[in-house]
Structure 1
Amino acid sequence: MDAPQSGSRAGAVVATLALAGTVAAIMQTLVTPLIAELPRILDTSASNAAWVITVTLLVSGVCVPVSGRLGDLIGKRRMMLVCAVPLFVGSVVCALSSSVVPMIVGRGLQGMGMGMVPLGIALLRDVVPTEKLSGSIALVSASMGIGGAIGLPIAAAVAQYANWRVLFWGAAALAAIIGAMIYLIVPDVPAAAKGQRFDAPGAIGLAIGLVSLLLAISKGADWGWSSATTSGLFGVAAVALLVWGFYELRTRDPLVDLRTTARPRVLFTNAASILIGVGMYSFMLIAPQVLQFPEATGFGLGQSMLAAGLWMAPGGVMMMLISPLGGKLINARGPKSALICGALVIAVGYGVALPLMGTAWGIMLAGVVINSGVALAYGAMPALIMGSVPLSETAAANGFNTLMRSLGTTIGSAVIGVVLAQMTISMGGYTLASEDGFRTGLMIGCGVALVSAAVATLIPALRKEGADQSAEAQPTEGDQAPART
């Protein structure tokens, strides 16, 4: 393996990988300001336009673990460059679209590029000196949240003051820039699992199971949770994932090593990741609505989309500021402690939100606290994963963990969506979510954050489980951040 980079070169690599994660996150929030306008823009129904959002979730859910495994097989830098291509092409396709089908195709291509983040995190283990590893992991891992938080007001401003196509042309430019930066700055590291085969049947099986599961969760409220379509998709997901798991346990070079993911340290980390995703997304779904609901409701704050984004932007800035501190906490107390601390801070943020929901500054303050907790948790999760898996599985394991976070946000969206749909008020002939519904959603977010902290306490201290793992993972003592090999 190549020696780690030093000095300014290591800093440039970390900055590039963090920017890559931020760009990937911006791609996800890019269309948020356009949601209400998409049916008119694309001359289609609201239900068809919703696929512009859903398709990115489905494609990224499948491609993230696949990209991670390919990164282990052919090289992480090479796969990051590959991911930049559909980000660019998809953005161009969206910019040129005038109907719903090419827009869905373009958004699906953008979803293919979301594997950049776990690949970048895994690459840090290869190129960053040990003393800088924890802080670097925390920053790159938090970049998804940072990009989402700061990308929303930027996208809203562009959508409000310029043609909507400018959003996608800007996204294409960002994808091209980040691709060039990866090519010029990020060093090429030999593939850790070179010589192993790619598990194509495993990839197909996982795709069938994940698409069915994510589709059922994300569209269940629209189709009806007890409808034949939703029930059928849940059934297909259950069967497909069981068959996939049976196959993965018996193939020589699996897409995801389920024996590794079943180790208590990895298993509880992934479980906590799902819960953190639910807790984080609950606030992200509720806060913009409270900010934008009309003041006539008695609890809405009457803000524009741009103003709402600006009120939430400090949360993204705080993630950027907290990430280095999270790295120091990981070095001092270990990633398990950082994960527990992050979950508890998220819960405190919801405690702040409940009494202050009636003011924009109160929502901003709650967002700052919640995003601080997310930054701590997001930095700790990949550190726990990378300290527990062999080097040859680093990217794949990080990809799977990223998938668990995404699954959490999808579940959070579905749960909060059901709550808000059931607890409503009527106003001017329209049905709107009620104040009690929003408060219930905030309490759910707080409760889930506390449960995630409890799950994190179950993560066992790191032990050397055999010569092979010890030689490849080489963790530091106790529960500290992972060391390079």
Structure 2
Amino acid sequence: MTPLSSSPSADREPVTTPDGRWTPRLVLLLVALAWPTQLLAAGGILGANATAGVAQAFHTTQVVWFGLTLTLVSTLLTPFAIKLGDLYGKRRVMLAMTALGAVGEMIAALAGSFWLVLAGRAIAGFYGPFGALSFAAVRDTFPPRLVKQASGIMGSSVGLVALVSPFLAGRLIGTWGYRGALWFLAAATAVACALIAALVPETPRHAFESGFDWLGGLTLGGGLTAVVYAVGQGQSWGWGDPRTAGWLAAGVVALGAFLLVERSSPHPILDLRVLRRRPVALALTAGGLAQTVAFTMPGLAILLALYPHIPGVSAGLGWSADHNAVVSVSWNLVMFGTGLLVSRYMRRFDARRIWCAGLAVMAVGYALVGFHHGDELQLILTSCVANLGAGVVVAGAPTLVVGVVSDGEQGLGSGMMNMLISLFGAFVTAGAYALLATDSTVVDGTAFYLDTGYSWVFWMGSLVTVVALALSLFLPPLRDPAEDGAQTERAAQPA
């Protein structure tokens, strides 16, 4: 039996049912974990819509830091969050993360200067690694028969978030400006903290060493942060700029130092032996690449929709934010519905086949978007095909992690997946803007993009998905938590 924390009063029994059926308590537990997890996606959409308002309110040319500060802090802290969750239980760490997230957004909403806004966003970044713990917490708290389904529902609910958030952003920012979005995030994060406190039991500890590898965490988090920062700034600085090369070099050196530190550390922050296993490496890389496409491409489609249509200058569709929100309802409903359907049937069929089929559909979909995106009907039809596959991806990715790691490695697996999504996302975003720049026109200091650039962006998304599919073809059969749970119960029965 895995012992719980050293403070029995703070630990609660995991939620279990003898037959593995859904109960009201399990539904509430899923809500308590899904709300803060998907609030990360909603925060990204609300933050993107608030950026212009922040720039105008504080008359700054450095507004890129409004989003980048949160991303960098989140990337830096992810390895620490993973280890602390294993040492002290995920519930305690999630409570601290959501509390700090609410405080940070509140500071940013109240700030009277741009630098204080950034300080608030930096504190809010402590909430960023939440996804590294929440999916692992599902494995620890749900009956084995429901782990795949619960993980899939949590992943697919991003479609519902993408459906609602644009309308919410328009109402909040249109009525109260950028502060309205920040106040909403502060309140919603406080609600998340309350839900976790009331409904989520403490999870078993998966590490019991008293030591903590601070140097390993700093070299890993710092190295990843430096790489993400360099890639994020590369388009504005220039890829040949010494600053870009310097940050990239610093990141690579730090990651190399991390490998050396972990070999000699008595309490490594990441168990590299796990990552040397081929199934784990394949699942994390393929899952990270596929989710990067599923999360990044819709944002680039928004860029296409909102940029003006000026013949010979800009090939944007010239939609308003409200019009884009209405049109995007179609493909976001497809993504959400597909995710729910996949979550229901993932347990009954070979998850690898469902996963690979979803990747194939998403690759075809974004290839079609590249060819046909000139009006509402074209974008709706092609994006619905792409999001049919994306729904499978967001619902199935947690199952990949569950299927290749043990119970005690769930935090590590989910955390590494999140770090890879951040890293791949930075590269894909930078690559997209580089492709757009090859077919652009600059007018009064503003870059406008022509159609060829947009086409190549979506074709890049299709190509990255094909790479994820190629890797996925080599995945071995995945472990089934339900079978593991049944074996554990049989072993526990007296002879």
Q: Is the pair's TM-score, using the shorter chain for normalization, greater than 0.5?
A: yes
- Matched residue, 1:411: 427
- Matched residue, 1:471: none
1:184 to 187, 193, 198: 198
2:335 to 319, 328, 333: 319
- Matched residue, 2:16: 5
Q: Give the letter aligned to residue 215 of structure 2.
A: P
Do the aligned partners of 1:94 and 1:103 also contact (CA within 8 Å) in 2?
yes
Distance 2:405 2:440 in 1: 47
Distance 2:445 2:404 in 1: 56
Matched residue SS, 1:437: helix
Distance 2:445 2:200 in 1: 56
Do the aligned partners of 2:140 and 2:407 also contact (CA within 8 Å) in 1?
no
- Matched residue, 1:229: 243
**What whole-Å deviation, never above 9, does each CA across 1:168-227 have from its counterpart, x for those lacking one?**
111111011111111111122332223453321111111220111000111111111111
Distance 1:483 1:124 in 2: 19
Q: Tell me whether 453-462 or 222-231 shows the greater mean CA deviation.
A: 453-462
Residue 351, structure 1, aligned to residue 384, structure 2? no
- Matched residue, 2:409: 393
Distance 2:487 2:161 in 1: 28
- Matched residue, 2:8: none
Distance 2:320 2:99 in 1: 34
Residue 240, structure 1, aligned to residue 254, structure 2? yes
Structure 1 alignment gaps of length 5 or more: 464-473
1:38-437 alignment runs, 5 A limit:
38-44=54-60, 46=61, 48-144=62-158, 146-148=160-162, 150-297=164-311, 299-425=315-441, 431-437=447-453
Do the aligned partners of 2:297 and 2:458 also contact (CA within 8 Å) in 1?
yes
Q: Tell me whether 131-140 or 271-280 shows the greater mean CA deviation.
A: 271-280
The two structures, once aligned, show a CA RMSD in angstroms of 2.5
Distance 2:487 2:144 in 1: 6
Distance 2:84 2:331 in 1: 34
Do the aligned partners of 2:291 and 2:394 also contact (CA within 8 Å) in 1?
no
Q: Give the letter aligned to residue 327 of structure 2.
A: W
Cα gap change, 1:76 to 1:60, in 2 (>3 Å) = same
Q: Tell me whether 139-148 or 117-126 shows the greater mean CA deviation.
A: 139-148
Residue 18, structure 1, aligned to residue 34, structure 2? yes
Distance 1:214 1:149 in 2: 28
Cα gap change, 1:262 to 1:375, in 2 (>3 Å) = farther
Matched residue SS, 1:30: helix
Distance 1:56 1:143 in 2: 23
Distance 1:86 1:454 in 2: 40
Matched residue SS, 1:197: coil
Do the aligned partners of 2:152 and 2:343 also contact (CA within 8 Å) in 1?
yes
- CA shift, 1:382, in A, is 2.4
Matched residue SS, 1:136: helix
- CA shift, 1:36, in A, is 2.8
Cα gap change, 1:177 to 1:23, in 2 (>3 Å) = same
Do the aligned partners of 1:137 and 1:379 also contact (CA within 8 Å) in 2?
yes
- CA shift, 1:311, in A, is 2.4
- CA shift, 1:426, in A, is 5.6
Matched residue SS, 2:135: helix
Cα gap change, 1:475 to 1:189, in 2 (>3 Å) = closer
Cα gap change, 1:234 to 1:430, in 2 (>3 Å) = closer
Cα gap change, 1:296 to 1:228, in 2 (>3 Å) = closer
Structure 2 alignment gaps of length 5 or more: 3-12, 18-22, 490-495
Distance 1:312 1:32 in 2: 16
Report the identity percentage: 25
Distance 1:329 1:10 in 2: 19
Q: Give the letter aligned to residue 140 of structure 1.
A: M
Matched residue SS, 2:448: strand
- CA shift, 1:334, in A, is 3.2
Cα gap change, 1:339 to 1:251, in 2 (>3 Å) = farther
TM-score by length of 1: 0.90
- CA shift, 1:144, in A, is 4.8
Distance 1:292 1:186 in 2: 40
Q: Give the letter aligned to residue 203 of structure 1.
A: G
Aligned length: 471
